[in-house]
């Protein structure tokens, strides 16, 4: 266990350096990873794993989950999140295949593993801010919302009107910023697939359409 912790700490400087470059120069960073050789694949898996681990810690601090530090809790989160990412990769792959994209599934995995980091932090940061402020605006309503989320059926109407407005606006802003960042990174996916800008735009539209049933599956699984 000590060796694992020491190795994790050792790679954190590289992780945060990559994360910082990804945030501010996503296309440039991802272009270097298009080859997706064995080294890139392993590094992307490590990057994704660390992102999920940090997300897990943040989620449990945020929600006050009493079982948050259990092995079962870690395994459950990693299994579900891994399934969501693989589902998204399938949707992404189908979108590019529809426009005759050339990137392999492995290339898309590497690119998406890195791209998942900033998106998780943007959405997760908005989520954290929303809960932190609504906790002050409406403590009882926020606790009720946390309980509802643990049961898989969140209901924003449990909050007071002012808390509802702030909560919705903050999450909406987070999703919008994640979309803007994703569009900025999309160029690297286009180059990996060797298609024109027009076909790239078509792939993006197809992705948006195919995402609807994927999100429906995620919602159903969260409500179980």
pLDDT per residue rounded down to tens, the chain (224 residues) = 455 555 566 788 889 999 999 999 999 999 888 776 777 888 888 898 888 888 777 767 665 554 444 555 556 666 777 788 888 899 999 999 999 999 988 899 999 999 989 998 998 889 888 888 888 888 888 887 777 766 656 677 778 888 888 888 999 999 999 999 999 999 999 999 999 999 999 999 999 899 888 877 777 766 66
Cα distance between residue 51 and residue 21, in whole Å: 15
Distance in angstroms (rounded) separating the CA atoms of residues 71 and 59: 15
Say if pTM beats, i.e. exceeds, 0.85. no
CA pair distance 43, 30, nearest whole angstrom: 13
Torsion angles phi and psi, residue 101, rounded to 5: -70, 150
pLDDT digits (tens, 9 = 90+) for 102-152: 998 889 999 999 998 999 899 888 988 888 888 888 888 888 777 776 665
Instruction: Output the six-digit token pair for 23.
Output: 């945030």
pLDDT at residue number 62: 60
- pLDDT for residue 128: 83
What is d(CA 46, CA 26) in angstroms, rounded to the nearest whole number?
18
Phi and psi of 8, rounded to 5°?
Answer: -65, -45
What per-residue string of b and e applies to 98-111 under the rule 16 or more CB within 10 Å gives b?
ebebebeeebbbbb
**88 Cβ contact list (under 8 Å, min separation 6):** 112, 211, 214
H-only helix segments in the chain? 2-24, 26-31, 38-63, 71-97, 105-137, 139-150, 161-193, 197-222
Note the pLDDT of residue 68. 47
State the pLDDT at residue 71: 53
CA 192 – CA 156 distance, rounded (Å): 40
């Amino acid at each position: 266990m000590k060796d694992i912790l020491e190795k994790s700490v050792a790679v954190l400087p590289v992780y945060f350096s990559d994360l910082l470059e990804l945030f501010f120069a996503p296309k440039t960073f991802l272009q270097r990873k298009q080859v997706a050789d064995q080294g890139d694949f392993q590094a992307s898996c490590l990057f994704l794993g660390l992102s999920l681990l940090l997300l897990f810690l943040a989620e449990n601090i945020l929600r006050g989950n009493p079982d948050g530090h259990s092995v079962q809790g870690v395994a459950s989160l990693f299994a579900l999140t891994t399934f969501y990412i693989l589902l998204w990769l399938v949707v992404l792959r189908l979108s590019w295949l529809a426009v005759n994209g050339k990137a392999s599934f492995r290339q898309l995995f590497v690119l998406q593993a890195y791209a998942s980091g900033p998106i998780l932090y943007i959405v997760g940061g908005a989520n954290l801010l929303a809960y932190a402020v609504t906790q002050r605006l409406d403590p009882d309503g926020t606790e009720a919302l946390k309980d509802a989320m643990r049961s898989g059926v969140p209901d924003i109407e449990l909050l007071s009107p002012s808390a509802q407005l702030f909560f919705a606006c903050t999450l909406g802003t987070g999703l919008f910023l994640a979309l803007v960042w994703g569009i900025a990174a999309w160029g690297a996916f286009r180059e990996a697939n060797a298609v024109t800008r027009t076909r790239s735009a078509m792939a993006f539209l197809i992705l948006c359409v195919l995402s609807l049933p994927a999100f429906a599956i995620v919602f159903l699984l969260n409500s179980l």
